[in-house]
Structure 1
Amino acid sequence: MTLRPAAAAALLLATLSACNALPEDYAPKHKKAQPTAKATLAAAPSPVPTLAADNPARLAAARAVVPAKLDSYSFDGDDKLIDTPFGPVLLRHGHNPDAGHSEPGIIAAYYLRAEGDRFALVNSYPDAAVSGSFGNLTRWSVSGAFTGLPVIVVEGGGTWQGCTVGLTDLIELRPIGPAPIASITTTFDTSGMTEAKGEAYEGTLTDVHRDSDFTVRYKGTDSFAERYVRRGNRFVLEGGDSRITGC
């Protein structure tokens, strides 16, 4: 028997409706899949709100739009190009080998805008961080542990009249520019001031809870801890007075 095209189509539709032979767990390919535990973890915010972006090509492109030298400071070559929520930022460690005792080292921050495989300079902050003596700071890094924005962690210090003091400064990279959010004395040594033994302490930042608090644990002449808590846009010492009295 030969069916007309219209009759054949009607028969096919009727047959498909009547059979309904698809398995109960069948789902069309376009159906939105339910999220798995792995997918949920992958979509969760990273615990570090900044990503290293300093691959050689991008770093070279960023350096091309910022000053090669800054006043009397030369750059060490340990630049860091980071991706922030508001765009890429190039951080440069400047030092002056001919500086006097009281002159610090610097971290310069350059806010950039990506334009294809190149960058445009948006804003310059040549003294985003200032620390240390003899034209240099001790060490520096970038952390995502303290706040929801990248934070420059800068260590620097010096010795004055036999008293050695080292500071750790936290500078938050905000969309409107770098801003200091804490300054902690993490090295203190008075042994050069007196014939007696003096006091000596070394502090380490630990137990960091983002946007909430962190603890500085000291060892040396005595062992103790001090807690810094977030108050507005800064971290302040709980209780107000540190046991490290200064020189």
Structure 2
Amino acid sequence: MRRAAALLLPALMLAGCGGNQAQKPAPTPTPSASAAPALDPAARLAAAVKASFPEGVNQGPITFDDNKLVDTAFGPVLVSHGHVRDPAHVDAGTIAVHYLDADGTGFKLRKAYPKAAESGSFGDLAEWSVSDKFLDRPVIYVEGGGTWQGYTCSFTTLVALEPEGPKEVASFQSVYDNGGAVEDNAQSVRGKIGAIRKGVDFTVKFEGTRSFAERYVWRDGKYQREGGESQVPSC
């Protein structure tokens, strides 16, 4: 009995030491000094605007105060809508595009395209957005128009953000209205893009004094109208 107790005592002591070691708290890992804190979307956008317009968003007579940061497979791209502050009727709205590189918590400018697209009148566009529905890279949708001598016309343009720079991939007249120029037999049609098959085709549906549809097919690096001349009266 004494020999068994003598053998049991060291075993208990070893078990007790092991238990104390298991309860010892693990050291807190030290954050890597090279890890940059993530920016929230608003801060990233502000940093992209600063890199693209280091002297401010007022560029001559145009102000680029409507901006969208697009993350692409070839890096961040800032798309900016510019409007003329004191416009004339003939002044168009502008889309500027800036290709950027990440630089710490900010960006540095790689390439600028100040007039990637121009459209509209009185210094502004009617509508713009960035879409992933047309191609496997982002596409800028731009619509702009105006009224001249009673004729109202609008045009839609698609500009793809390619790795080498923005490229126009479609353009078509989307509005015609001669009601301000004639009293009899006035015509008015407006087209909106409907069904889209990415990289294949899309359909523009027109409504108004006439209803019809026109199809645009992806061919030779752009969307081209199928079937010859458009049914929309030209401006």
Report the TM-score range of the alignment, normalised by the length of the smaller protein.
0.7 to 0.9
What is the aligned-residue RMSD (CA, Å)? Answer: 1.4
**Correspondences of 1:1-247 after superposition (within 5 Å):** 55-67=41-53, 68=56, 69-76=58-65, 78-247=66-235
Is the Cα contact below 8 Å between 2:150 and 2:179 reproduced in 1? yes
Q: Which amino acid aligns with 1:166?
A: S
CA deviations on 1:23-78 (whole Å, 9 max, x unpaired) are xxxxxxxxxxxxxxxxxxxxxxxxxxxxxx981110111112122222210123x2
Q: How far is 1:100 from its partner?
A: 1.0
In structure 1, the gaps of 5 or more residues are 1-52
- d(CA) in 2 for partners of 1:234, 1:54: 36
What secondary structure, in the 3-state scheme, does the structure 2 residue paired with 1:64 have?
Answer: helix
Is the Cα contact below 8 Å between 1:217 and 1:226 reproduced in 2? yes
In structure 2, the gaps of 5 or more residues are 1-38
Q: Which amino acid aligns with 2:132?
A: G
Is the Cα contact below 8 Å between 2:176 and 2:233 reproduced in 1? no
- d(CA) in 2 for partners of 1:220, 1:125: 37
Q: Which amino acid aligns with 1:73?
A: I
CA deviations on 1:155-179 (whole Å, 9 max, x unpaired) are 1001111110011110001111111
- d(CA) in 2 for partners of 1:217, 1:81: 30
Which stretches of structure 1, 4 residues or more, deviate above 4 A after TM superposition?
A: none
What secondary structure, in the 3-state scheme, does the structure 2 residue paired with 1:99 have?
Answer: coil
Is the Cα contact below 8 Å between 2:71 and 2:77 reproduced in 1? yes
**TM-score of the aligned structures, taking structure 2 as reference length:** 0.80
Q: Higher strand proportion, which one?
A: 2
**TM-score of the aligned structures, taking structure 1 as reference length:** 0.76
Q: How far is 1:116 from its partner?
A: 2.4
Is the Cα contact below 8 Å between 2:91 and 2:121 reproduced in 1? yes
Is the Cα contact below 8 Å between 1:54 and 1:81 reproduced in 2? no
- d(CA) in 2 for partners of 1:131, 1:71: 18
Decide which structure has the larger Cα Rg and report it.
Answer: 2
- Count of residue correspondences: 194
Is the Cα contact below 8 Å between 1:144 and 1:150 reproduced in 2? yes
Is the Cα contact below 8 Å between 2:61 and 2:85 reproduced in 1? no
Is the Cα contact below 8 Å between 2:81 and 2:95 reproduced in 1? yes
